[in-house]
């Protein structure tokens, strides 16, 4: 997830771009850059690494030759290519006359880059984006207008994008387009104070709301041609269309949170995108799973005899889900360790044990040290991380990135779902390499995986129903969470969410283990949340639910739509759509996040910054 902005006209293009980038920084801050245009030639400035990149950029931009008629800017969350200045946007073509900023992933960029290189194009970054600049360069050489060149280029591109382009030959024109990734367009008339008319394009409303409320959203495969007083929107085939006008009644602060009250709910609502982006480019139409960026080759992975996962908190829960996937599909024995415990036992590891570290931040010290320990034993180490070039990603032998974008709320939500998706992919990829997955099964699983973002979206829409259930239990101070099989880590994640943001005691148990002791705690009024979606162990879960119910517990179930048999055994139900049982955690955890969220809000708590916690824990 990156942020893009463009401005043409008005009295302060440079300031508009820099201020817009500041508001878009929540989408990533690995680097920032702008291209400015006066009456012709383009002038580029970029700065890399961390939250200081925008300050550094501002210093460089102070030296820009003025005046500026138009410009485009970008704040980056690295995916393809490290977070360096070389990879910072905007990217230029060979002539330096075309500049592109891009949010999304060009899935077929390798193929396109090979063709362009064979045609003599020189690349100066490791990004997927740069191919777009070179393709436009080729199209422009045919003497067409920039908008036509962009359309012709995008017809060759697969994947997700929102992008903005300027070229030296068309001063004051910005051409922008989108597929999957969001893009809004704004038009400001001449101001009463004499300010000149202007046009804007940006990844989200917050970046331009300070300048205009005349806003439109582009649809997939629409291209807009912007000049200070005109906007023309057309399809990739060039047919003019009417864009959708946006009614915006947010102030700027609300706009930064996408209109949500806090980052946590915004990030929960970004979960369908986080899962879709994590799967993007990794499910090939031929029915194969492609993880070519891993850095550990298929030959070495084929030698693996065992998997050991180390992680903390929500990442640990993603590992517990993955254990079932590794064992079921890849037929690989798998153990999952809490990272802070791993180092202090005498682990038995060798070169045939694949050690997988899961970490959103890639910086958690417990996981980092555990992975260092594993490498000392000669085990190949693979990291599943959200932050590109984080310490773990740099030190590991291989890395599989989740593409959830930056997460501001301390509670992991969208990054957790992205981890679940990435771990399922990894297990299926290993199964493919080991020959334990038939092509027919692979195709079915493909379809199930591809449907997950939609199912997560559907589940999120039921927020009001979850809020109603949560409202019944706001004075409950003690919850039990039960689950079996992959439902157990879901229960553990639900309990963790409730503890960390609502400060309510919540204990997760394997449902079958209750009778070995903890059931003594069940008495009339005890509240039990159980994950009871359809699975091979559904009947067993329901027997355990009956055990607590008969002792007076109030039972809330997470159950599949239409499963009335489950509802008959519950005092309340959090309904979710069904999917393959091994993928079900991706959907089932969502109402538990919502349950914790509404409970915390009912207690008047700050869900984004819970007490005593830090987003990244770098102490042992």
CB of 564 to ligand M6R, least distance (A): 33
Q: How many CA atoms lie within 13 A of 264 on its CB side?
A: 24
Q: Is residue 271 at the binding interface for ligand M6R, with CB under 6 A as the rule? A: no
Candidates 8, 129, 315, 340; binder of ligand M6R (CB under 6 A) is 315
Q: Is residue 314 at the binding interface for ligand M6R, with CB under 6 A as the rule? A: yes
Tell me if residue 2 is catalytic. yes
Containing H/E element for 307?
Answer: strand 306-311
* Residue 240 DSSP one-character state: B
Containing H/E element for 48?
Answer: strand 42-48
Cβ 100 vs Cβ 89: under 8 Å:
yes
CB of 392 to ligand M6R, least distance (A): 8
Instruction: For the segment 330-359, give every residue that binds ligand M6R (CB under 6 A).
Output: 359
Q: Is residue 360 at the binding interface for ligand M6R, with CB under 6 A as the rule? A: yes
Q: What is the spatial distance between Cα 579 and Cα 95, in angstroms, rounded to a whole number?
A: 50
Only segment of 155-163, 198-206, 209-217, 307-315 that touches ligand M6R (CB under 6 A):
307-315
From the candidates 2, 167, 312, 334, which is the catalytic residue?
2
Candidates 71, 228, 272, 313; binder of ligand M6R (CB under 6 A) is 313
Nearer to ligand M6R, 437 or 456 (CB): 456
Q: How far apart, in Å, are the Cα atoms of 298 and each of 326, 343, 398, 414, 574?
A: 16, 28, 12, 29, 41
CB of 153 to ligand M6R, least distance (A): 37
Cα 361 to its chain centre, rounded Å, is 13
Nearer to ligand M6R, 162 or 364 (CB): 364
Containing H/E element for 105?
Answer: strand 98-106
Return the residue matching tokens 């740069």. 130
Nearer to ligand M6R, 162 or 413 (CB): 413
Binding string, residues 52-71; x marks residues near ligand M6R by CB under 6 A: --------------------
Where b means 16+ CB within 10 Å and e means fewer, 464-476 reads eebbebbeebeeb
Beta bridge partners of 496: none
Q: What is the spatial distance between Cα 202 and Cα 217, in angstroms, rounded to a whole number?
A: 10
From the candidates 115, 499, 540, 615, which is the catalytic residue?
615
At residue 160, the 3 state secondary structure works out as strand
Q: Is residue 531 at the binding interface for ligand M6R, with CB under 6 A as the rule? A: no
CB of 402 to ligand M6R, least distance (A): 10
Q: Is residue 367 at the binding interface for ligand M6R, with CB under 6 A as the rule? A: yes
Phi-psi region of 609 (alpha: psi -120 to 50; beta: other; left: phi over 0): beta
Q: Is residue 390 at the binding interface for ligand M6R, with CB under 6 A as the rule? A: no
Containing H/E element for 455?
Answer: helix 439-460
CB of 127 to ligand M6R, least distance (A): 25
Q: Is residue 371 at the binding interface for ligand M6R, with CB under 6 A as the rule? A: no
Q: How far apart, in Å, are the Cα atoms of 353 and each of 304, 322, 335, 348, 536?
A: 6, 16, 10, 9, 29
CB of 26 to ligand M6R, least distance (A): 17
Q: What is the spatial distance between Cα 129 and Cα 149, in angstroms, rounded to a whole number?
A: 16
Candidates 364, 402, 432, 560; binder of ligand M6R (CB under 6 A) is 364
Q: What is the spatial distance between Cα 228 and Cα 225, in angstroms, rounded to a whole number?
A: 10
Helices (H) and strands (E) in the chain, counts: 20, 26
At residue 79, the 3 state secondary structure works out as coil
Q: Is residue 544 at the binding interface for ligand M6R, with CB under 6 A as the rule? A: no
CB of 591 to ligand M6R, least distance (A): 16
Q: Is residue 593 at the binding interface for ligand M6R, with CB under 6 A as the rule? A: no
Nearer to ligand M6R, 149 or 404 (CB): 404
Nearer to ligand M6R, 179 or 598 (CB): 598
Q: What is the spatial distance between Cα 358 and Cα 309, in angstroms, rounded to a whole number?
A: 7
Q: Is residue 274 at the binding interface for ligand M6R, with CB under 6 A as the rule? A: no
Q: Which two tokens stand for residue 2?
A: 């990156």
Q: Which two tokens stand for residue 499?
A: 């503890």
Beta bridge partners of 383: 357, 399
Q: Is residue 37 at the binding interface for ligand M6R, with CB under 6 A as the rule? A: no
Furthest CA-CA distance within the chain: 80
Q: How far apart, in Å, are the Cα atoms of 43 and each of 63, 100, 102, 153?
A: 11, 13, 18, 23
CB of 601 to ligand M6R, least distance (A): 16
Cβ 452 vs Cβ 586: under 8 Å:
yes
Nearer to ligand M6R, 361 or 535 (CB): 361
Using CB positions, name the residue nearest to ligand M6R.
Answer: 313
Nearer to ligand M6R, 226 or 383 (CB): 383
Candidates 173, 361, 535, 584; binder of ligand M6R (CB under 6 A) is 361
Binding string, residues 391-430; x marks residues near ligand M6R by CB under 6 A: -------------------xxx------------------
Q: What is the spatial distance between Cα 279 and Cα 155, in angstroms, rounded to a whole number?
A: 22
Tell me if residue 615 is catalytic. yes
Binding string, residues 480-509; x marks residues near ligand M6R by CB under 6 A: --------------------x---------
Site size for ligand M6R (CB under 6 A)? 16
Only segment of 140-148, 195-203, 525-533, 612-620 that touches ligand M6R (CB under 6 A):
612-620
Q: Which two tokens stand for residue 583?
A: 């993928």
Q: Is residue 608 at the binding interface for ligand M6R, with CB under 6 A as the rule? A: no
Only segment of 43-51, 68-76, 313-321, 465-473 that touches ligand M6R (CB under 6 A):
313-321
CB of 277 to ligand M6R, least distance (A): 18
Beta bridge partners of 35: 44, 72
At residue 584, the 3 state secondary structure works out as helix
Q: Which residues are catalytic?
A: 2, 615
Q: For binding to ligand M6R (CB under 6 A), which residues are involved?
A: 312-315, 359-361, 364, 367, 410-412, 500, 613, 616-617
């Amino acid at each position: 997830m990156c942020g893009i902005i463009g401005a043409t006209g008005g009295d302060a293009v440079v300031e508009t771009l820099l201020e817009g980038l500041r508001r878009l920084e929540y989408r990533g801050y690995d680097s920032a850059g702008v291209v400015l245009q006066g009456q012709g030639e383009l002038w580029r400035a970029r700065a890399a690494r961390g939250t200081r990149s925008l300050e550094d950029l501002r210093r460089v931009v102070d030296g820009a030759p003025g005046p500026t008629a138009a410009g485009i800017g970008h704040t980056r969350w690295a995916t393809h290519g490290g977070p360096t200045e070389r990879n910072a946007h905007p990217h230029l073509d060979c002539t330096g006359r075309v500049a592109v900023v891009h949010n999304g992933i060009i899935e077929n960029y390798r193929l396109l880059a090979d063709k362009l290189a064979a045609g003599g194009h020189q690349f100066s970054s490791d990004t997927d984006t740069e191919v777009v600049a070179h393709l436009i360069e080729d199209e422009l050489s045919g003497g067409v207008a920039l908008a036509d060149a962009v359309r012709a280029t995008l017809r060759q591109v697969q994947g997700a994008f929102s992008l903005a382009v300027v070229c030296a030959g068309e001063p004051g024109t910005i051409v922008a387009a989108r597929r999957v990734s969001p893009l809004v367009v704004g038009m400001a008339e001449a101001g009463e104070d004499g300010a000149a008319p202007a046009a804007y394009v940006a990844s989200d409303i917050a970046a331009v709301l300070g300048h205009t409320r005349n806003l439109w959203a582009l649809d997939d495969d629409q291209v807009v041609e912007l000049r200070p007083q005109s906007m023309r929107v057309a399809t990739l085939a060039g047919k003019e269309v009417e864009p959708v006008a946006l009614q915006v009644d947010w102030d700027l602060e609300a706009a930064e949170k996408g209109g949500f009250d806090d980052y946590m709910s915004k990030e929960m609502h970004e979960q369908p995108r986080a899962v879709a982006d994590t799967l993007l480019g990794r499910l090939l139409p031929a029915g194969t799973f492609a993880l070519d960026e891993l850095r550990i080759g298929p030959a070495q992975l084929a030698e693996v005899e065992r998997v050991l996962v180390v992680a903390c908190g929500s990442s640990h829960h993603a590992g517990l889900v993955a254990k079932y996937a590794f064992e079921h599909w890849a037929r690989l024995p798998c153990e999952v360790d809490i990272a802070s415990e791993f180092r202090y036992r005498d682990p038995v590891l060798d070169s045939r044990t694949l050690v997988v570290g899961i970490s959103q931040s890639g910086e958690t010290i417990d996981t980092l040290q555990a992975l260092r320990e594993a490498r000392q034993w000669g085990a190949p180490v693979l990291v599943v991380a959200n932050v590109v070039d984080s310490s773990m990603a740099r030190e590991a032998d291989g890395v599989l990135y989740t593409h959830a974008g930056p997460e501001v709320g301390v509670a992991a939500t969208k990054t957790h779902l992205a981890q679940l998706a990435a771990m399922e992919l990894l297990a299926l990829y290993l199964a493919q390499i080991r020959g334990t997955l038939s092509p027919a099964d692979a195709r079915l699983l493909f379809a199930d995986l591809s449907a997950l973002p939609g199912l997560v979206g559907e589940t999120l829409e039921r927020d009001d129903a979850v809020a109603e259930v949560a409202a019944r239990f706001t004075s409950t101070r003690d919850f039990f969470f039960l689950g079996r099989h992959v439902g157990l880590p879901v229960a553990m994640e639900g309990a963790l969410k409730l503890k960390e943001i609502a400060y309510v005691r919540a204990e997760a148990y394997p449902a079958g283990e209750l009778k070995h002791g903890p059931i003594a705690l069940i008495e009339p009024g005890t509240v039990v949340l159980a994950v009871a979606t359809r699975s091979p162990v559904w009947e067993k879960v329901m027997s355990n639910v009956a055990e607590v119910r008969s002792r007076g517990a109030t039972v809330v179930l997470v159950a599949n739509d239409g499963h009335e048999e489950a509802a008959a055994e519950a005092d309340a139900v959090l309904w979710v759509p069904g999917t393959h049982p091994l993928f079900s955690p991706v959907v089932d955890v969502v109402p538990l996040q919502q349950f914790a969220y509404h409970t915390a809000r009912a207690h008047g708590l700050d869900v984004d910054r819970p007490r005593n916690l830090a987003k990244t824990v770098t102490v042992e």
